[in-house]
Amino acid sequence: MIKVCFVEDSPVSHRALKVLMQESKKIDLVGMYSNAESFLAEYPFIRPDIVVVDLQLPGISGLDAICTIKAEFPDSRFLVLTAHEEEEMIFKALRAGAGGYILKKNSFNNIAEEIISFYEGGAPLTPLVASKIIHYFQQDKGYNLGNKLTEKEKDILKMIVDGLLYKEIASQKSISIDGIKKHVSNIYEKLQVRTRSEAIKKYFTQMKY
């Protein structure tokens, strides 16, 4: 079971999310918070696998909550579920450490599937969000980081950018999942990144096509 908590201030969303989580056999809902203050106080005790957070909250913002937890618990995993589709908010959330960014108007009813995908190594991005990221970073290709990677690592990185899970990459490359994880670790080290989101951003800013 995937331990999940939500930080969301809308009572209507609270009720809907509870129903959606109860329908999933893979998710254990361990917390529902209407503000970041309560979430921050209880996080060390519940330690969920995934935190789904809105960015606009009363008091401490969802963005500040991500920054606060990531500073003390670097391995914490955040998935943004919000109505905000502005580029500035998207990039601030990803820089803060969010591993995915989905819009309520597009993905609310599929949130359980998005959470499971995120848990299994995916990086959920609503198509509109992915398009904004690509458009923004393609404006500055930068220098060629590709010469730092082997051909196999370039192929794996491209699959990561395309949103494939480790098990899907392993199947296509006929490599064990542990082997893929080792390749990914090498890629991250060469690109000087720590997360899938950072690798994707660097791919679009510093890889030549």
Which superfamily, per CATH, for 2-126? Response regulator (3.40.50.2300)
Residue 161 has a pLDDT of 84
CATH 3.40.50.2300 positions along the chain are 2-126
**Contact yes or no for 121/166 (Cβ under 8 A):** yes
pLDDT in tens, 43-57: 999 999 999 999 999
CATH 1.20.120.1630 assigned to 136-206: no
pLDDT in tens, 95-125: 889 999 999 887 788 899 999 999 998 888 9
Q: Name the pTM for this structure.
A: 0.66
Higher pLDDT, 43 or 153: 43
Average per-residue pLDDT in the chain?
Answer: 87
